[in-house]
Structure 1
Amino acid sequence: MSTLTLSTPRSPAPVPQIAEVFDFARAQIHQAAADLWPHADIRLGAHVPSITGYVTHLAVDERPLYAKYSYLGMSLVSLLRGAGGTWPQVREAQADYVRRPDALLAREYAQLQLLAQLDGPRACAAAGLERGVLFTVPAVGSTLGDLLLRTPAQTVPLLEGTFAELRPLYRTRTAGWLGPSGAIGERSVAATFARKFNGISGQTYLDRIGADRCPPAVRTEVAGRLRAVVARLRHARLVALQPALEVLTYGELKPEHVVFPDSGGERPLFIDPGLGRGRATSDAAKLISRIVLRLLIARSMPHAATQVLDGVDAFAQNRVALRSAKAARSWQREVLIFWMMDTTNLLSTVLSAPPGLPLNERTRALADRPLAACRLLDHASAAFLKQRDAPTAWHTALDTAREAIA
């Protein structure tokens, strides 16, 4: 007589814990600094909250530096959710990863060296790369994001000055300066969107949005609106983003990654590049996306926010005026699609972050108050598909942003 044996369900494998991930990164940073500067006094400083990698201040013989450490080239949010496996599996894979020439920070180090040889943009100096740790020299001054809120009437010249620096990247011949192994294409707006929201895994990802960060009613609205936005953007991307000439793009163009020296008159300095081959409109879109989110968060400054949005519109009209009517419509369509994709990418990452992961002030505010951004995306993406006229869709998106900020 046979007996039926009931197997006990296996518990899910433990995901890496924040403390062990951070402690290991700090140990690697200290050892890497000791290897590079064996006779120096090395002191690790405060952690800089980030959702992408571990970043910290440090001093090497009183010289201030930043140190950055990346796990397997993925974001900390993905790592802490188990995308790299258990902590022992991550440690084993990481030992091989940091030795690879195409590791994320090895490519960023090479990009900083490339930018140092060009006539623009001016990038922060790389101080060294060791054990998978990238050391950079701090950029001293005020970020573009801070200046926009402090001097909103200067929005147009600030944006024009930023893109004047990027102009050398957008020359057609520059696309060949960076080989496929040197580009950081996986962090482009379109690649990130495709990776997050592709197929069944994308639907599962959307189903889990906000599970640990949003009250039930908020989570229901967030998930519903983002699901509609993603469906629209997947359709819009197929319709509107036809093959086009690729140039070298900065990639990680955010308001906090452009630093203007406080002395005035000097060229801005760019940090944290993510150079890749793509459309120049993706840089403009990412910057606009992050500016609008920053304005949504700065709720106590509605007048300044309105001035900044007016400046963004004026800057965009300057771009359009330089093009033929057909090229102008294409520019506006592409910027709108990339803008909404980037906001969707960031919002979904922030809402998926484990509760204990330290967030900076901006991402924490976005995680605490996601509905304004979700509603903006929902209304703007619906209008974009409904209105075939690009200028009308552009102004609808800006008007929606103004209403959300007000």
Structure 2
Amino acid sequence: MSTAAAHTSPGSVPDVAEVFAFAQGEIRSATAELWPGARVELSAHIPSVTGYVHRIRVGGRELYAKHSFLGMSLVSVLRGVVGDWGEVRRAQAGYVHRSDALLQREAAQLRLLAGLGRPRVCEVAGLSRGVLFTAPVPGPTLAALLLRDPANTAGLLESVFAELHRLHRSRTAQRLAPTGAISERSVTATFQRKFNGISGQTYLSRLGAERCTEAERAEVTGLLRAVVARLHRMRPTALAPGQAVLTYGDLKPEHLVFPDGPSGRPVLIDPGLLRARASVDAAKLTSRTVLLLASARPGAAAVEHVVEGLRAFAEQRMRPMAPKAARSWLRELLIVWLMDTVNIVTTFLSAPAALPLPPRGRPLLERAVAVCTMADCISTALGSGMDAHSVWDTALAQAKAAAE
């Protein structure tokens, strides 16, 4: 196994530089195995809090190379959840050979989706040594299009969900073996894992140590404790056997690309296929769209258009439903939206200062108080027994306020 020299002393947490150097070494070794003799150039590192991603050129072909440490977020690894650097390397040596390794499953999911033909997904170029290589997709992302043409929000979101129609059919769920799901990207499972018992309270108490002022930390952690407690009390109801569909699981505006422009079909990257309610996909996309607005702050008119587009999008989803089913769907969307927002904000807050954040990460942390205030207000309304449609109105108003 290719390795970087371990400089970390026993018992200390892994260092960002050595973790990155190790991942780069694995990428080089994987390319040598897949494309012997090809010239390899590592160009741009793509900041992420989950895995290590690098843009590379192999024999003149542009690719993305993704490396995952134990299927865990980089933040968890760098915070010492697995142990010191020696323990991480020893665990990783066995992990990359497992058939259920995260990127093994991601590659299998991309191939499954390519076979289905809808949704369109990026091409798998190769997989070796736990490194997944995919072909880049040219064109603007949904995030760029929302900020460029906010009045078209509803149409853009509809085009994404048109791609998911086949995936959301109940019989399609049978195409994915139980061991093929990527539960690591489940919003609810991540929330339960992060905020479970005493360890969850300890995690909350340490948030923002390297990312916020003391005053901001106190306010943010106070708000998050209240939100987490409310969400624990109103977990989504248990999934009945007949209600499960395949959800894409990891819809993010930055990971939805429109190679043929806004009127064409999007291409999706980074799947996290799960059996869940279809509301999960709508919730994840809603959450990340609102966080995009909070970090980009594109101005009142643009925010109004995007938020009203989210309203129209939700109404379109509920139109064929009976009133009771629509209320249940909307409540689930709101709960999963809040869980996802809490998940990603706390991941950014807990990231070591030396870890580069994605482009929207730092601006979002600067709005952490506003975003957590939004979550506090929405969860308070949800917990009060207010009708789901009234809570939805409150939530959209709070989303606008968070992006001011």
TM-score (normalizing by structure 1): 0.95
Deviation at 1:12, TM superposition (A): 8.5
Partner of 1:243: 239
- Secondary structure (helix, strand or coil) at the match of 2:117 reads coil
Q: 1:186-197 residue pairs with structure 2 within 5 A?
A: 186-197=184-195
Letter in 2 for 1:241: T
Give yes or no for contact 1:186–1:192 (8 Å, CA) kept in 2: yes
Which residue in 1 is equivalent to 2:363? Answer: 365
Give the match's secondary structure for 2:179: coil
Between Structure 1 and Structure 2, how many residues are aligned?
Answer: 394
SS in 2 for 1:157: helix
Residue deviations 1:235-254 (CA, integer Å, cap 9, x gap): 111xx424331111101111
Tell me, yes or no, if the aligned pair for 2:30 and 2:129 is still in contact at 8 Å.
yes
Q: Which residue in the other structure is 1:319 paired with? A: 317
Displacement, 1:384? Answer: 1.1
1:378-389 to 2 correspondence within 5 Å? 378-389=376-387
Partner of 1:390: 388
In the alignment, which residue of structure 2 is the partner of 1:182? Answer: 180
> Given that residues 111 and 124 in structure 2 are in contact (C-alpha distance below 8 angstroms), is that contact kept between their aligned partners in structure 1?
yes
TM-score, structure 2 normalization: 0.95
Query: In 1, Cα distance between the equivalents of 2:366 and 2:307?
Result: 23
Q: What is the aligned partner in structure 1 of residue 6 from structure 2?
A: none
1:113 pairs with 2:107: no
Change (3 A) 1:18 1:152: same
Displacement of 1:319: 1.1
> Is 1:185–1:277's contact at 8 Å kept on the other side of the alignment?
no
- Higher mean C-alpha deviation, range 216-225 or range 256-265: 256-265
| Counterpart residue type for residue 120 of structure 1 | R
- Cα distance in 1 for residues equivalent to 2:353 and 2:262: 40
Task: Answer yes or no: is the 8 Å Cα contact 2:204–2:225 preserved in 1.
Answer: yes
1:263 offset after TM fit, Å?
A: 4.7
Rg comparison, structure with higher value:
1
C-alpha contact (below 8 Å) 1:232/1:381 kept by paired residues: yes
Q: Return 367-376 or 71-80, whichever deviates more.
A: 367-376
Which residue is equivalent to 1:6? Answer: none
Structure 1 CA distance for aligned equivalents of residues 400 and 308 of structure 2: 9
Cα offset, 1:60, TM superposition: 0.9
Q: 5+ unaligned residues in a row in structure 1: which ranges? A: 1-10
Provide the C-alpha distance between the structure 1 equivalents of 2:232 and 2:10, rounded to a whole number of angstroms. Answer: 32
Give the aligned residue type for 2:54: T
Deviations 1:204-232 (A, max 9, x none): 11111112211111100100000000000
- What residue is the counterpart of 1:167 in the other structure? 165
SS at the partner of 2:193? Answer: helix
CA distance in structure 1 between the partners assigned to 2:232 and 2:85 by the alignment: 34
2:71 alignment partner, one of 73, 81, 91: 73
Please say which of residues 170-179 and 16-25 is displaced more in the overlay: 170-179
* Equivalent residue, structure 1, for 2:82: 84
Deviates more, 1:387-396 or 1:163-172: 387-396
Dislocated runs of 4+, deviation >6 Å: none
2:296–2:363 CA contact under 8 A, matched in 1: no
**Pick aligned residue for 1:295 from 274, 293, 296:** 293
Match of 1:223 among 199, 221, 224: 221
Q: Using the alignment, how far apart are the partners of 1:358 and 1:209 within structure 2?
A: 17
Once the two structures are superposed, the pairs formed by residues 27-176 of structure 1 within 5 Å of their partners are 27-176=25-174
Partner of 2:23: 25
Q: Structure 1 stretch 387-396 or stretch 213-222: which is displaced more?
A: 387-396
Take 1:290 and 1:265, find their aligned partners in 2: how far apart are those partners?
22
* 1:46-98, Cα deviation, whole Å (9 max, x unpaired): 10000000000000111100000000110000000001111011111101000
Secondary structure of residue in 2 paired with 1:367: helix
For the Cα contact (< 8 Å) 2:283–2:336, is it kept in 1? Answer: yes
SS at 1:117's partner residue? helix
Instruction: Give CA deviations for 1:262-281 in whole Å, capped at 9, x if unaligned.
Output: 45653110001111111111
| Residues 28, 131 of structure 1: 8 Å contact kept | yes
Equivalent residues of 1:236, 1:385 under 8 A apart: yes
